[in-house]
Amino acid sequence: MNAKTITIANLTALVDDLVASGTCVTAPARAAGGKVDYRPITSFPEAAFNTELPRRSLKEFFLPPTEPLFSWRLGGPGIRISEVTTSFAPHVILGARPCDAAAVEILDRVMGWDYRDELWFGRREATTILSVACPGVDGSCFCTATGRGPESSRGSDVMLTPLGDVFLADVVTPKGETFVGENAKRFDDARGAAVTDGASRTSNAAAVGQPKLPLPEVQRWLAHGFDHELWSTIALACHGCGACASVCPTCHCFDIVDEPEGVLSGTRRRNWDTCQAARFTVHASGHNPRADQAARLRQRVMHKFWIYPSRFGEVLCTGCGRCARACSAGVDLPEVLRTITALAAPGGPEEAAV
Amino acid sequence: MNIYQPTLMTISDITDETSDTRTLRLAFQDPQLAERFDFKAGQFGEYSAFGAGESTFCIASSPTRKDSIECTFKAVGKATKAMRELAVGDTMGFRGPYGNHFPLDRMEKSSVVFIAGGIGLAPVRCVIWNVLDLRDRFDDVTVIYGARSVPDLVYKRELAQWAARGDVKLWQTVDPGGQTPDWPGEVGFVPAIVEKAAPSAKNAFAVVCGPPVMIKYTLPVLQKLGFADDRVYTTLENRMKCGIGKCGRCNVGPVYVCKDGPVFSAAELAALPAEY
């Protein structure tokens, strides 16, 4: 990594430069008296770095909750299709949390698997992500358990780490290199001391320290744990509302629906959907392979910690903890994982079964 | 054109198979695509009626017949009901072909037993015509097909064609009570007729599609007849939206049915959790 530094004054000027050039800048920002979300800012003081986690992740900037896939219009005997663009205006995300930035890169795997999702990658290519090392949020955080941490630069193009009144700026990707090059006057070369100063990093890590999940054991248990009573026990509380999937930075299930606009035209859209919804898997015959909430809750855990890792080599979870915070029924994914870890432990109650 | 945008097809023919099941023949509007399009038996597509949405069906015609593709469906949901309203000359959308296929290469020089129930004949019919169009590459061909009642039998004209051929052994059956006075075929559930027909498992493959309950009771019969479970193939019909491994809907355990399927051997099926 190339190390640079950037002062608060220069960050302020950088945002001004970007906004003046017509680039959309998104940062965690607090609505007046309200909650923190990633939202467009017009000046750096609007950004809020040392706060609770933004309510929603970065997912919506790459996979919007609803987006047109194409439009059609009846014309004469046939149908005319209007394509949607797959090239997008430059976008800078400033102050992404490492758990949110990592999620986007994890999702590149499925979005690029065999068939390349041009809408996803069009936005990915147009977007530069500058993350900020996370100060830690609360007891629902478990990024360290999923193998990353509050300084993880995964998914970031530039990684900012606060060092007193400046930020250390590590260039992570070629896109980050280009970005820093284009805005060179706002960055300074890092002095030796800044590069080697790891003090703030370790304190950050301690703030959200949770033991790393023994993923191979967890996956082995999940592969054989389909019929375990754990699922129905947890699901007794679950309402099946899908709030967990909505706020999740990696849940990416979607529906495809037609929305007629009058009689002669309309738009096909994709909308967020969730495996927690009862009708998600219903066959045309009425048969539902996942007929109860236990099966649906199990699917969410299985997909994140067994199916996705088996297919794409990494867990579909960055430990942001939003699902646990959002759940009105108190379903707590970190707790579920701790339970599974205990069940899967050598000498634990399930070892013989596995 | 993004991966979710369909290509445009013109309905060139409509066949009513039963009172609620219809076959549409679709021709590509883009002549270059018509020329280029290719698929393998067992693959599926996303078919759409604009304004109502997409539905997932197998391509029911044989890849050996190039000029068009066919799909067979029951009008059950919003999209299929809208498709049923369409007429010859109307435009539909199609994305595909997607998914894996039946291992025809592996089946060559062997006997093939086709077993289907109800509208499950659609994916099997594709393979049957594929095999019959290359008839000299295969040994015995047996077709065992059942429906709830005589009017529920699909592809009746083709059943008559297969019955008239000397190189196909055809068994047709309807559920008890579903027969008409002049019904010349069998009366009984498909698994029982498979047992009665007792096709030889020697150097043979079986292709089985139909309602889950039919498959459930047919697989043990095939096992008893000596079919190894890696020589018995079926298709899974999980609900799909994207068809290309993105939307997360068709997972069964570690499998994405749209990418790893829809064709699975009985051995592969046995290793999956029962979420299909």
Any residues with CB less than 8 A from the CB of B211 and at least 6 apart, and which? A285, B117, B118, B120
Residue A203 reports pLDDT greater than 80: no
Structure tokens at A309: 């890792």
pLDDT digits (tens, 9 = 90+) for A281-326: 999 888 899 999 999 999 999 999 999 999 999 999 999 999 999 9
| Residue given tokens 């070892």 in the structure block | A351
Residue A43, SS3?
coil
Tally of structural domains, chain A: 2
Same domain assignment for residues A273 and A187: no
Which pLDDT score is estimated for B67? 82
Of A207, A231, A263, at which residue does a domain stop?
Answer: A207
In a domain, A115, yes or no: yes
Q: Which residues of B touch A272 (CB under 8 A)?
A: none
Q: Which residue of A has its CA nearest to B119?
A: A285
Residue A171: pLDDT band by 50, 70, 90 thresholds?
very high
Same domain assignment for residues A220 and A334: yes
Residue A350 reports pLDDT greater than 60: no
In a domain, A244, yes or no: yes
Distance in angstroms (rounded) separating the CA atoms of residues B247 and B85: 28
Same domain assignment for residues A247 and A156: no
Which pLDDT score is estimated for A353? 47
| Class (C level, CATH) for B104-235 | alpha beta
**How far is residue B201 CA from its own chain's centroid?**
22
Q: Which residues of A touch B3 (CB under 8 A)?
A: 115-118
Q: Which residue of A has its CA nearest to B10?
A: A78
Residue A165: pLDDT band by 50, 70, 90 thresholds?
confident
A258, B3: Cβ pair inside 8 Å? no
Cis link prior to A174 (omega < 30° from 0)? no
From B241, B9, B35, select the one nearest A271 (Cα to Cα).
B241
Query: Which stretches does DSSP call E strand in B17-166?
Result: 21-28, 44-49, 53-58, 69-74, 91-98, 111-117, 141-147
Same domain assignment for residues A72 and A190: yes
Of A157, A186, A207, at which residue does a domain stop?
Answer: A207
Mean pLDDT by 10 residues, chain B (276 residues): 95 96 96 94 97 96 91 95 96 97 97 96 95 97 97 96 96 97 96 97 97 93 97 94 96 93 96 88
Same domain assignment for residues A108 and A130: yes
Residue A208 reports pLDDT greater than 60: no
pLDDT digits (tens, 9 = 90+) for A37-66: 999 999 999 999 988 899 999 999 999 999
From B153, B172, B162, select the one nearest B133 (Cα to Cα).
B162
The answer to whether residue B273 neighbours chain A at the CB level (below 8 Å) is yes
Residue spans per domain, chain B? 7-98, 104-235
Percent of chain A at pLDDT > 70 equals 92
B80, A258: Cβ pair inside 8 Å? no
In a domain, A50, yes or no: yes
Which pLDDT score is estimated for A199? 47
Which pLDDT score is estimated for A139? 86
Same domain assignment for residues A182 and A234: no
Residue A7: pLDDT band by 50, 70, 90 thresholds?
very high
Same domain assignment for residues A142 and A162: yes
Stretch A114-118: mean pLDDT, rounded? 96
In a domain, A170, yes or no: yes
Residues A108/A320, Cβ–Cβ less than 8 Å: no
Q: How far is A271 from chain B (nearest CA, A)?
A: 10
Residue A191 reports pLDDT greater than 80: no
Residues A5/A36, Cβ–Cβ less than 8 Å: no
Q: Which residue has the higher pLDDT, A191 or B16?
A: B16
Is-same-fold flag (B7-98; B104-235)?
Answer: no
A70, B4: Cβ pair inside 8 Å? yes
Of A154, A183, A207, at which residue does a domain stop?
Answer: A207
Query: Which stretches does DSSP call E strand in A225-264?
Result: 254-261
Residue A346 reports pLDDT greater than 80: no
Q: Which residue has the higher pLDDT, B65 or A271?
A: A271
B242, A256: Cβ pair inside 8 Å? yes
Which pLDDT score is estimated for A255? 97
HEC-encoded secondary structure of A158-174:
EEEEEECCEEEEEECCH
Residue type, B202: K
- C-alpha atoms less than 13 angstroms from C-alpha of B80 in its C-beta half-sphere: 16
Does the pTM surpass 0.90? The reply is yes
According to CATH, the superfamily of the domain at B7-98 is Translation factors (2.40.30.10)
Which pLDDT score is estimated for A194? 56
Arithmetic mean of pLDDT over chain A: 91
Residue A33 reports pLDDT greater than 80: no
Residues B222/B208, Cβ–Cβ less than 8 Å: yes
Which pLDDT score is estimated for A349? 55
Structure tokens at B97: 């072909």
Domain span including residue A105:
2-207
The dihedral region occupied by B258, where left means phi > 0, alpha psi between -120 and 50, and beta the remainder, is alpha
Q: How far is A85 from chain B (nearest CA, A)?
A: 9
A258, B276: Cβ pair inside 8 Å? no
Residue A196 reports pLDDT greater than 80: no
Same domain assignment for residues A71 and A182: yes
